[in-house]
Amino acid sequence: MPKAVNTQSTEPGPAKGPVDKAMEVLEALTRGAGPHRLADIARSTGLSKPTAHRHLRTLAEYGFVDAAAGGAYRVGPRLLGLAAAALDTGRDLRLARPALADLRQRTGQLAYYAVLDADEAVYLEVSEPAREYRMRVRPGGRVPLHRSGAGLAMLSALPDQRAEEFLTAGPRAAGAARGTDPRVLREAVREAARVGYAVDDEYDEPDVRSVAAPVLGGDGRVAGAIGVRGLTFTLGAEAVAMYGAMVRAAARSISADLGATGPRLTALDGTGGGEPA
C-alpha cells in the first residue's frame, strides 16, 4: 500500500525506541560532507550527547560507523558495502546507468536517476561530465518533490489521488519558497503528464535548470525518474525541448525493459495527451 505523503497530526507520536534513534544517527552521518562531530550529530537528531555517543559506539562495533580524528564520526565500511550491494540488486538502476552515460555524453550535462521516498526524490546515481564547476546533486541526496525535475516527473505519473495529496499538503510545509504555489505546481504536473517530461526552473538551486521523465515498473507504478541538470544559460527553451525528448525516450526505454506496458507507457513518449513541446 503506498505510503501517505506529508500527513500531519497534532497527536504526539510514539516514543522513540533504540532502533529509531540508531537510524536517526545513521541518517545524520550521511547528510553533507563528513566526518561529523558528536555535537552536530546530537543536534541534528535531537538526542542528548550521551545517547548519541552510545549509539555511535554500538554502530562502530558492527562496522556501520568509523571514528575519525578529533572525535568525529563517518559512515563505516560495512554500511557502504550494504548500500553498494543493495543498489546493485536494483534492476531499474542497472538499466539506468548506461542511459545516464549516454545522456551525459550527448548533452554535456549532468545526468541523474532518482527514486521516490514519501514526499522526496532521492538521487541514486549521478553521471557528471568533467568541468570546472560541479552541481550539488550527489548520490543519496534528497529534495522535496515539488523542487526538482525528478520529483515533478514522478508526481506526473502518480495516481491522481496520491499526487493531489502531495500538491495539497506538501508544498505548504515548505513555506513560501519558490515553486510552492499549488496552482503553479498543478499546472507543471499537468504539463509534464502531457509532454512526458518535467522541468525544474531554478526551484532547487539558483541558476540551475533540470529536465526529467518518469520511469515506470512492470506493475505500472513509478519506479523512478531520469533526467539532466545544468546551468540555465545552457538550458534555454530550445535545449529544454530537445533534452526533454531525450530523457523521455530514455525513460520509455528503461520502462519497457522493466515490463511497463499500456497507455501510461505510451504517455512517456508524448502521445498520451497532446503533442510534445
- Predicted pLDDT of residue 3: 42
Give the Cα separation of 201 and 203 in Å (integer).
5
> Mean pLDDT throughout 121-140?
82
Instruction: Report DSSP state, residue 86.
Output: H
Lowest mean pLDDT among 15-19, 222-226, 248-252: 15-19
Residue 166 has pLDDT above 90, yes or no: no
Higher pLDDT, 267 or 40: 40
Q: Which residues, at least 6 apart from 37, have a Cβ–Cβ distance to it below 8 Å?
A: 70, 71, 72, 73
**What average pLDDT score do residues 132-152 get?**
84
In this prediction, residues 69-97 reach a mean pLDDT of 77
Q: Which CATH superfamily is domain 90-267 in?
A: GAF domain (3.30.450.40)
Distance in angstroms between the alpha carbons of the first and the last residue of the chain:
35
Average pLDDT estimate for 185-208 = 91
Give the per-residue pLDDT at 267.
Answer: 47
| DSSP string of 233-277, one letter each residue | GGS-HHHHHHHHHHHHHHHHHHHHHTT--SHHHHHTTT-SSS---
Long-range contacts of 108-112 (CB under 8 A, 24+ apart): 108/230, 108/234, 109/228, 109/229, 109/230, 109/234, 109/235, 109/243, 110/135, 110/137, 110/228, 110/229, 110/230, 111/226, 111/227, 111/228, 111/229, 112/137, 112/150, 112/212, 112/226, 112/227, 112/228, 112/229
Task: Flag whether pLDDT at 135 surpasses 80.
Answer: no
Grade residue 262 by pLDDT with cuts at 50, 70 and 90.
low
Query: What proportion of the chain, given as a percentage, has pLDDT over 70?
Result: 80
- Residues 18-82, CATH architecture: Orthogonal Bundle (1.10)
- Per-residue pLDDT at 7: 40
| Confidence at 87, pLDDT banded by 50, 70, 90 | low
Q: pLDDT at residue 203 above 80?
A: yes
Please state, as a whole number, how many other Cβ atoms lie within 10 Å of the Cβ of residue 3: 10
Domain ranges in the chain are 18-82, 90-267
260/241 Cα distance (integer angstroms): 24
Of the pLDDT bands very low, low, confident and very high (cuts 50, 70, 90), residue 139 is confident
> For 190-194, what is the mean pLDDT?
93
CA distance 30 to 240: 32
List helix spans (H) across 74-159.
77-88, 91-107, 149-157
Q: In what order do the strands lie in the sheet with 72-75?
A: 36-37, 72-75, 65-67
- For residues 171-196, give the mean pLDDT: 74
Q: What angle do CA 23, 216, 116 make, to 5 degrees?
A: 25
Q: What pLDDT score was predicted for residue 5?
A: 42
Q: What cell numbers appear for 15 in the block?
A: 516514543
